[in-house]
Structure 1
Amino acid sequence: MKEKIINSINQYHTIIIHRHVRPDPDAYGSQVGLAKMIEATYPNKKVYVVGEEDPSLNYLARLDEMPDEKYEGALVIVCDTANEERICDQRYTQGDKLIKIDHHPNREPYGDLMWVDTEASSTSEMIYELYLEGKSDGWKLNKEVARLLYAGIVGDTGRFLFPSTTERTFNAAQELVTYNFDRKALYDNMYQVSLNIAKFKGELLSSIEPRESGLAVFKLPKDLLDRYEVSADETHTFVSIAGDIKGIHAWVFFVEEEGVIRVRLRSKGPVINEVAAKFNGGGHPMASGAKVFSWEEADEMVKALDQVCLNFENNPS
């Protein structure tokens, strides 16, 4: 499949790359890292990265404004996006050919070509391996590409702490860090937080009361966010907050927005993506997202997660 993707990139003059809504470092890293790699390898091709910008990720890259006519005859690649609903900028269907590159479970196949590898730690890791496939044919990796792919890998592995980190991951990181980008500045941008975020995190930590099942529940209504001047998007910075706490098997954040309650799920053992799929979501077995539309529905989701955690506690193998 990597060879087929490289052949497709060879054939097209215009290439437009998308990723998912509510981007994270892996979404930007894989999307823009691939674009910069193609530009370095094929200087005469026109490569664009599209989607709504997230200001908190401007340190990684800025995206392009794209008129509709650019899609005519173009190759479109979507990175790090499991299902079509979550693709940022729904013009992705307007190109001549569509490729999906992703590491999430392939519950919703789409595209003319699909490269889905659920064993990969991140889509950025997959883009690095695409470079390895094309290296003998002149594919190039430079400092900027290395910075972007490294950021994506670091972001999706929790600084190499998550179980998705494998030998493949370290092999990629080993080469990427040989390029002379400023890792300290990258880490500062990724992990430094404002004082109000730090205070909010302190309140969350002081309020943790794990349920009997080993599930921790964080409900963040809009008035609580407003009190600390924290936006819904900024809550992603403490999604791993309960990962080091003994006795917690899984945890869930309910973040109230206008008309919807966003759900972030994390686990240290129980498989939680099946619950996410029942509540308008999905993702990895240990890291998923979903959405509910009332606090009553949130309570129903908590009951389902309780059962999953209890089953895990009784049968941890």
Structure 2
Amino acid sequence: MKKKILDEIKAYETIILHRHVRPDPDAYGSQMGLAEIIRATFPKKKVFAVGTPEPTLSFLGELDEIPDEVYASALVIVCDTANTERIDDARYSSGAKLIKIDHHPNDDAYGDLLWVDTSASSCSEMLTSFYENFSEELVLNETAARLLFAGIVGDTGRFLYQSTTEETLRLAAKLVTFPFDRFMLFQNLYQRPLKTVKLSGYIFENLNMHQNGAATIYISKEILKKFDVSAKEASDLVSSIENIEGLKAWIMFVEDGEEIRARLRSKGPIINGLAKEYRGGGHPLASGATVYTQEEVSEMEQKLDQICERA
């Protein structure tokens, strides 16, 4: 499949890369990292990375704005996105051919070509492997290495999560041979404004933890306004409680417009099945869902408690 994808990249003069909405470092890193590899290898090709910009990740790079007609004869590659509902920019389906590259469970097998590897820590790890497989043909420069490293770091929680494997570390070690400023990259990835740090204090004070090791926190629009943070900034704090003793799995509910975003995390119990019940999905230990009523919030909380009780 990797060879087929490389052949398609060689065949098209225009290549457009997409990723998921509300991007994280791996979404940006894989999308723009692959775009940079293609640009460096084939400087005459027209290569674009599109989507709604995420201000907190602007230090990784800037996205492109392109008119609809560019898609007419283009190869479209979607990175790090499990299902079509989460693809940022609906024009992804307007190209001549569509490729999916992802490390989430393949519940939505979209695309003309699909490369899905659920054993990979991140889509950025997959694309580092992609470069390594064809290193005699592809060019990996400092910019691409920095982007892919950021993606791996983001999705492994600085190499702390169970998704980190020997292969993850081996490929990351190849990337750090490039002279990008790792210290500044980590600073940009993990520094938090004071208002967000104060919100984390609210989260610890108001966490609802059950005897079975399940926990939930609900962040309303009023709380977002009180701390002057966005739904995205609040959601980024989902892992801030992970070191609590006795904690098995948790959900952070964040009001976002008319929706309530549910971010699920686990130290062992499988929780992506629960996410799928509520218009979501993801990894076994890290998933997301969307609910619309307090009744659904209560249902999810009860079901999470049952999952932890059985674990």
List per-residue Cα deviations over 1:111-144 (Å, max 9, x = no partner).
00000000000000001011012112x2111110
* Counterpart residue number, 1:181: 180
- Counterpart mapping for 1:23-34 below 5 A: 23-34=23-34
**Which residues of structure 2 form unaligned runs of 5+?**
none
Q: Secondary structure at the match of 2:163?
A: coil
| 1:209 Cα deviation after fit | 4.0
| 1:5 Cα deviation after fit | 0.4
* Counterpart residue number, 1:112: 112
Structure 2 CA distance, aligned partners of 1:286 and 1:230? 26
List per-residue Cα deviations over 1:220-264 (Å, max 9, x = no partner).
011011111111010133111121111000010000121110010
* Counterpart residue number, 2:171: 172
| 1:295 Cα deviation after fit | 1.3
**Which residues of structure 1 form unaligned runs of 5+?**
313-317
| 1:206 Cα deviation after fit | 2.4
Q: Secondary structure at the match of 1:47?
A: strand
RMSD of aligned alpha carbons: 0.8
Q: Secondary structure at the match of 1:118?
A: coil
List per-residue Cα deviations over 1:45-83 (Å, max 9, x = no partner).
110001110111100011000101100111000000000
Structure 2 CA distance, aligned partners of 1:88 and 1:279? 20
* Counterpart residue number, 1:37: 37
List per-residue Cα deviations over 1:259-287 (Å, max 9, x = no partner).
11001000000000000000010000000
Is the 8 Å Cα contact of residues 265 and 286 (structure 2) preserved in structure 1? yes
Structure 1 CA distance, aligned partners of 2:227 and 2:235? 15
| 1:208 Cα deviation after fit | 2.9
* Counterpart residue number, 1:134: 134
* Counterpart residue number, 1:6: 6
Q: Secondary structure at the match of 1:271?
A: coil
Q: Secondary structure at the match of 1:299?
A: helix
| 1:207 Cα deviation after fit | 2.6
Instruction: Show structure 1 runs of 4+ deviating over 4 A.
Output: none
Is the 8 Å Cα contact of residues 199 and 234 (structure 2) preserved in structure 1? no
Q: Name the aligned partner's letter for residue 70 of structure 2.
A: K
- Counterpart mapping for 1:160-239 below 5 A: 160-239=159-238
Q: Name the aligned partner's letter for residue 205 of structure 1.
A: F
* Counterpart residue number, 1:315: none
Q: Secondary structure at the match of 1:160?
A: coil
Is the 8 Å Cα contact of residues 235 and 254 (structure 2) preserved in structure 1? no
Structure 1 CA distance, aligned partners of 2:221 and 2:123? 32
Q: Name the aligned partner's letter for residue 101 of structure 1.
A: I
Is the 8 Å Cα contact of residues 27 and 151 (structure 2) preserved in structure 1? yes
* Counterpart residue number, 1:300: 299
Q: Secondary structure at the match of 2:62?
A: coil
List per-residue Cα deviations over 1:18-57 (Å, max 9, x = no partner).
0000000000000000000000111111100011101111
Structure 2 CA distance, aligned partners of 1:220 and 1:294? 14
Structure 1 CA distance, aligned partners of 2:258 and 2:142? 42
Structure 2 CA distance, aligned partners of 1:198 and 1:144? 30
Structure 2 CA distance, aligned partners of 1:179 and 1:145? 10
Structure 2 CA distance, aligned partners of 1:250 and 1:2? 35
Q: Name the aligned partner's letter for residue 264 of structure 1.
A: R
Structure 2 CA distance, aligned partners of 1:183 and 1:61? 16
Structure 2 CA distance, aligned partners of 1:179 and 1:284? 30
Q: Secondary structure at the match of 1:77?
A: strand
1:287 matched to 2:286: yes
Q: Name the aligned partner's letter for residue 15 of structure 1.
A: I
| 1:176 Cα deviation after fit | 0.5
Aligned-residue sequence identity (percent) comes to 55
